[in-house]
Amino acid sequence: MLFIVDMEVCLPPDMPEADATALKAREREIAQGLQHRGVWRHLWRVAGKYANVSVFDVVDNAQLHDVLMSLPLFPYMNISVRPLCRHPSSIHEDDR
């Protein structure tokens, strides 16, 4: 199943810079691993915000929930999720 996930990160302003840097490094490592495995299919930054729009390819909503909760920045994110399905007018058969 494909899902569009909007994520906005809201780190506490009083978080020590070293902690924020370490958290972001762990997030990057996990995000890139998910991309290499094809789970995190697309990742775009939202200009002017600490936010992204992503497409995830997972078995079901439970797997998406587990993936999102595994992200180190998850406790600091506002997330919205929208499931996707094929559009009958799409010229692409594989949804890629």
Would you list the DSSP string of 18-71? HHHHHHHHHHHHHHHHHHHTTSEEEEEEPTTSSEEEEEEE-SSHHHHHHHHHTS
* pLDDT at residue 94 greater than cutoff 80: no
Please state, rounded to an integer, the average pLDDT across all residues of the chain.
Answer: 95
* pLDDT at residue 74 greater than cutoff 90: yes
* pLDDT at residue 96 greater than cutoff 90: no
Domain residues for the domain of 59 are: 2-84
Please report the pLDDT score of residue 69 as a whole number. Answer: 97
pLDDT in tens, 25-69: 999 999 999 999 999 999 999 999 999 999 999 999 999 999 999
Within-domain flag for 90: no
- CATH number of the CATH domain containing 41: 3.30.70.1060
Within-domain flag for 18: yes
Number of domains present in the structure of the chain = 1
